[in-house]
């Protein structure tokens, strides 16, 4: 069965029995998960209880916030569902395939169509589609690091088990499938590994921290306010007997609802989702939405050369004969047509077509550690690999080897990739023969991506450091780096990287280009840069990049790359265009800068609502707002304008300390608003002003303060921002002038003394807010200075 694979009848039988690799796993969150996240929250629970209480006591007019909460949940669910659909469509279009033997021939099928007892054909770069037992192996090496954490590639022999999700990094072989679908190893792990996930995000973690703080204080503050309101209604006994408790409950609910920053979470989710959909239109697949924010924070980007700076298509250039040994051309022809040939070896078939050779006696498959492969024929052992890897030193005698090193260095300096074909006596321990002689030095060319230079100039202008880490010859990589505009006089040979982490960091700070870097070294470089405080992005397309891409803060894969590399990346460039990265960075900066601005609006509201509740609770004053009044003013001064502000273009560079900066504005601004309203309410109560007029004046003060905070946080006020702010002002004027709205909100005309108090309290609060903004800008500039200094040091 394993020799020719399954027949179509055997496949049909297994499909009928359900023994297929089909496994239903969303590439992003399920619909239920989206609804649950947006609906079943602690704060929605608080809002629901308050909503039901108001309905129960007949104050449905004050329950408007309940409909607002429903609208928030619906809008958030719809936006995230639209993002999910866009991401799912893109993910389906890029689903991996598997090669199997069926009825004696090789076929490429969708991984879901693999069945039990199928024979998988495994070659370098493949991701294993299902669990199985190795049937045949020719130097088969598998990287199981993404499953087991073991970084070293494991050599597989017949009878060994291969696991779904692991990656073939060397040699080739076949394996007979024995576990599929949900029973396979990869799928039995946490299904969340490949689903939508909330990646570590400063925005989300900061907002969640604020929500946790509010959750802790809502209960005690509500009791404080309720007690004060019951006392203002004549005390607990009288209020309960007279029905005044209804007024007290309404006022308490107004204070509690105002403290809950419902819209902040909604705005964050919508902004992430819209950013992901916009990038999807540019052929950038965002596999984890907060990765959009993450790239805005990146200050160091590590690039693989092949497939990133270059297009990845290798073209044979020339053969420079060093030693006359018969048969070398037909050896190259043999290398060019092997099933496991990489792109470099395949390019040989365009020049060398003589395949009249005897059968190979033995072979050593290529490995990323050796960086050479070999085949033994009846005329000896032929080795093909990097010159400095096949002949690592000059300790062995022979002018031909010294000439090889000189010529290889000269050719590599021109940007051409070099390989050497050597010949010697066969060895039995997979080592280069001691009598090996270089027969021909082969050169290959790579086409540089036309957008690479412009993209790197963008990163340089933005102060983002760049490191090129490649498995190729250091001088070849350095030459290509110079072609794309990097200041790279020479490349550093990664075989000389120090073991000490501090010394490694010194080398990374001194050099831009690194060649002959192994997969483990790529990972180590990324880890060390992260430990030094950098936010690191890693781009690549090969299997050898997968470990580093997984370890980086933001992993970016080319769609032309290996399935395993794309699986661990957070962003996939679907059309492979490196030039998309500036758009991704710009989108990330827009997201993080706008959410920071919007968060100040919502957190300021939470701050003054909390301080007002505590102040009026301590002073035993009637709470000066009805829930319906707060619902309207909050919507016009915060909710609606926040939606537009969150989606505006914003190229501001990210500076760490989002929550501290937001709170250093929100808390003092909240205190300023509280002082104005509390002073007004105390003075108005002392002048025996009617309660309805006090509420109207308080609502007007809060409206003026809210609009001023909106103006302050919108600076510089562009034409579009001016239109938004102007529309909100018109809306508020209508609220105070349209009779049916005034009646519903229980707004009354103000007498002259009340109007003067309103004006004075508003001006005092506005003056204090301007002082707060001045101090806040100084703090923001101080935070930005370390970032500027770091950019200058790169």
- Please report the DSSP string for 305-356 in residue order: IIIIIEEEEEEEEEEEE-S--TTHHHHHHHHHT-TT--HHHHGGGGT-----
Return the higher-pLDDT residue of 467 and 568.
467
User: For residues 186 and 119, what is the distance between their CA atoms, to the nearest angstrom?
Assistant: 18
Angstrom distances, CA of residue 510 to CA of 78, 466, 483, 496, 499? 49, 12, 20, 14, 16
- pLDDT at residue 505, as a whole number: 93
Answer yes or no: is pLDDT of 365 > 90. Answer: no
pLDDT tens figures, 191-209: 433 444 445 567 777 877 8
- H helices of 627-751, in order, are 627-634, 640-645, 658-686, 691-714, 719-737, 739-745
- pLDDT at residue 111, as a whole number: 83
For strands 536-540 and 554-558, give the pairing: parallel
Answer yes or no: is pLDDT of 135 > 50. Answer: yes
Q: Which residue from 379, 203, 209, 380 is spatially nearest to 297, judged by alpha carbons?
A: 203
**Which among 62, 131, 304, 472 is annotated as catalytic?**
304
**What percent of the chain has pLDDT above 70?**
83
Contact indicator for 446, 484 with CB cutoff of 8 Å: no
How much is the mean pLDDT over the chain? 81
Answer yes or no: is pLDDT of 735 > 50. Answer: yes
User: For residues 107 and 389, what is the distance between their CA atoms, to the nearest angstrom?
Assistant: 36
- Provide the sign of the torsion angle of the four alpha carbons 776, 779, 781, 783, taken in this order: negative
Which CATH fold topology does 261-276+587-783 show? Calcium-transporting ATPase, transmembrane domain (1.20.1110)
- pLDDT at residue 196, as a whole number: 40
- Residue ranges of E strands in 111-247: 119-123, 131-143, 154-155, 161-162, 167-179
pLDDT tens figures, 23-76: 655 445 567 777 777 777 766 777 778 778 777 777 776 676 666 667 667 766
- H or E stretch at 458: helix 452-461
CA 234 to centroid of chain Cα atoms? 57
User: For residues 352 and 753, what is the distance between their CA atoms, to the nearest angstrom?
Assistant: 99
- pLDDT at residue 199, as a whole number: 52
Answer yes or no: is pLDDT of 507 > 90. Answer: yes
Average pLDDT over residues 347-358: 75
pLDDT tens figures, 495-504: 899 989 899 9
pLDDT tens figures, 92-122: 434 468 889 998 888 888 888 899 999 999 9
Query: Architecture of 299-534 per CATH?
Result: 3-Layer(aba) Sandwich (3.40)
Residue 382, phi then psi, degrees to nearest 5:
-115, 130
Q: Which residue from 669, 658, 691, 687 is spatially nearest to 752, judged by alpha carbons?
A: 687
Angstrom distances, CA of residue 74 to CA of 1, 81, 270? 55, 10, 11
Return the higher-pLDDT residue of 394 and 567.
567
pLDDT tens figures, 643-673: 788 777 766 666 767 788 889 999 999 999 9
Answer yes or no: is pLDDT of 431 > 80. Answer: yes
Contact indicator for 421, 439 with CB cutoff of 8 Å: yes
- pLDDT at residue 781, as a whole number: 76
Average pLDDT over residues 742-748: 87
Q: Among this protein's residues, is 304 annotated catalytic?
A: yes
- pLDDT at residue 1, as a whole number: 42
Pick the CATH number of 1-197 from 2.70.150.10, 3.30.1600.10, 2.170.150.20, 1.10.1760.20: 2.70.150.10
In this predicted structure, which of 112-121, 390-399, 464-473 has the lowest mean pLDDT? 390-399
- pLDDT at residue 175, as a whole number: 93
Q: Which residues neighbour 212 within 8 Å (Cβ) at sequence distance 6 or greater?
A: none
Parse the chain into domains and list their residue ranges.
1-197, 261-276+587-783, 299-534
Return the higher-pLDDT residue of 464 and 559.
464
pLDDT tens figures, 298-327: 889 998 877 677 776 778 888 998 888 888
- pLDDT at residue 148, as a whole number: 52
Tokens of 382: 């032929």
Contact indicator for 515, 473 with CB cutoff of 8 Å: yes
Answer yes or no: is pLDDT of 15 > 70. Answer: yes
Answer yes or no: is pLDDT of 715 > 80. Answer: yes
- pLDDT at residue 28, as a whole number: 52
């Amino acid at each position: 069965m394993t020799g020719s694979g399954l027949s179509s009848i055997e496949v049909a039988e297994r499909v009928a029995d359900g023994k297929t690799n089909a496994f239903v796993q969303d590439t992003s969150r399920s619909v239920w998960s989206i609804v649950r996240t947006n609906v079943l929250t602690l704060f929605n629970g608080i809002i629901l209880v308050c909503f039901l209480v108001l309905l129960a006591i007949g104050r449905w007019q004050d329950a408007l916030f309940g409909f607002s909460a429903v609208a928030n949940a619906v809008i958030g669910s719809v936006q995230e569902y639209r993002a999910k659909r866009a991401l799912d469509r893109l993910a389906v279009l890029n689903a991996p395939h598997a090669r199997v033997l069926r009825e004696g021939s090789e076929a490429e099928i969708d991984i879901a169509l693999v069945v039990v007892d199928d024979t998988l054909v495994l070659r370098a770069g493949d991701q294993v589609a299902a669990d199985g037992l190795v049937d045949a192996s020719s130097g088969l090496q598998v990287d199981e690091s993404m499953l087991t954490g073991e970084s070293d590639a494991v050599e597989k022999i017949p009878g060994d088990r291969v696991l779904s999700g692991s990656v073939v990094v060397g040699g080739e072989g076949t394996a007979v499938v024995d576990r599929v679908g949900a029973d396979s190893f990869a799928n039995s792990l946490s299904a969340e590994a490949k689903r939508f996930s909330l990646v570590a995000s400063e925005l989300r973690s900061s907002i969640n921290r604020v929500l946790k703080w509010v959750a802790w204080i809502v209960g005690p503050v509500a009791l404080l306010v309720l007690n004060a309101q019951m006392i203002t209604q004549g005390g607990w006994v009288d209020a309960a007997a007279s029905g005044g408790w209804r007024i007290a409950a309404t006022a308490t609910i107004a204070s509690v609802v105002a403290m809950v920053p419902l819209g902040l979470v909604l705005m964050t989710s919508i902004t992430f989702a819209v950013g992901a959909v916009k990038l999807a239109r540019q052929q950038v697949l965002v596999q984890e939405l907060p990765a959009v924010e993450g790239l805005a924070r990146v200050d160091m980007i590590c690039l693989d050369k092949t497939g990133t700076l270059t297009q990845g298509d290798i073209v044979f250039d020339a053969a420079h004969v060093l030693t006359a040994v018969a048969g070398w051309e037909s050896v190259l022809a043999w290398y060019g047509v092997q099933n496991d040939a990489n792109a470099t070896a395949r390019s040989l078939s365009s020049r060398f077509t003589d395949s009249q050779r005897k059968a190979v006696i033995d072979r050593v498959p290529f490995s990323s550690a050796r960086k050479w492969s070999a085949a033994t024929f009846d005329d000896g052992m032929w080795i093909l690999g990097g010159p400095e890897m096949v002949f690592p030193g000059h300790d062995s005698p022979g002018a031909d080897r010294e000439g090889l090193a000189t010529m290889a260095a000269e050719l590599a300096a021109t940007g051409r990739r070099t390989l050497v074909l050597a010949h010697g006596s066969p060895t039995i321990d997979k080592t280069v023969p001691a009598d090996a002689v270089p027969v021909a030095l082969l050169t290959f060319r790579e086409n540089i991506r036309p957008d690479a230079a412009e993209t790197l100039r963008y990163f340089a202008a933005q102060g983002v450091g760049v490191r090129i880490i490649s498995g190729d010859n250091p001088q070849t990589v350095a030459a290509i780096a110079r072609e794309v505009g990097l200041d790279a006089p020479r490349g550093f040979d990664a075989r000389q990287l120090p073991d000490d982490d501090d010394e490694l960091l010194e080398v990374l700070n001194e050099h831009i280009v690194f060649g002959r870097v192994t997969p483990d070294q790529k990972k180590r470089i990324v880890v060390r840069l992260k430990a030094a405080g950098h936010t690191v992005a890693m781009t690549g397309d090969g299997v050898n990049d997968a470990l580093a891409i997984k370890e980086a803060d933001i992993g970016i894969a080319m769609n032309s790359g290996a399935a395993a590399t794309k699986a661990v990346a957070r962003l996939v460039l679907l059309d492979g265009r490196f030039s998309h990265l500036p758009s991704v960075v710009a989108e990330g900066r827009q997201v993080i800068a706008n959410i920071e601005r919007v968060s100040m609006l919502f957190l300021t509201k939470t701050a003054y609502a909390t301080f007002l509740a505590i102040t009026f609770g301590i002073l035993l004053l009637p709470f000066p707002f009805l829930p319906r009044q707060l619902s309207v003013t909050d919507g016009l001064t915060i909710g609606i304008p926040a939606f537009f502000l969150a989606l505006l273009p914003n190229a501001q560079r990210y500076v760490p300390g989002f929550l501290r900066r937001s709170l250093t504005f929100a808390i003092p601004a909240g205190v300023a608003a509280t002082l104005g309203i509390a002073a007004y309410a105390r003075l108005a109560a002392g002048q025996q002003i009617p309660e309805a007029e006090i509420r109207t004046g308080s609502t007007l003060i809060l409206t003026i303060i809210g609009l001023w905070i909106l103006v302050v946080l919108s600076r510089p006020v562009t034409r579009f921002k001016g239109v938004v702010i102007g529309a909100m002002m018109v809306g508020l004027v209508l609220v105070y002038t349209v009779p049916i709205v005034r009646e519903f909100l229980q707004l009354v005309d103000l007498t002259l003394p009340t109007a003067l108090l309103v004006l004075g309290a508003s001006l005092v609060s506005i003056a204090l807010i301007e002082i707060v903004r001045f101090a806040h800008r100084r703090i923001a500039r101080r935070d930005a200075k370390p970032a500027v200094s770091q950019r200058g040091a790169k």
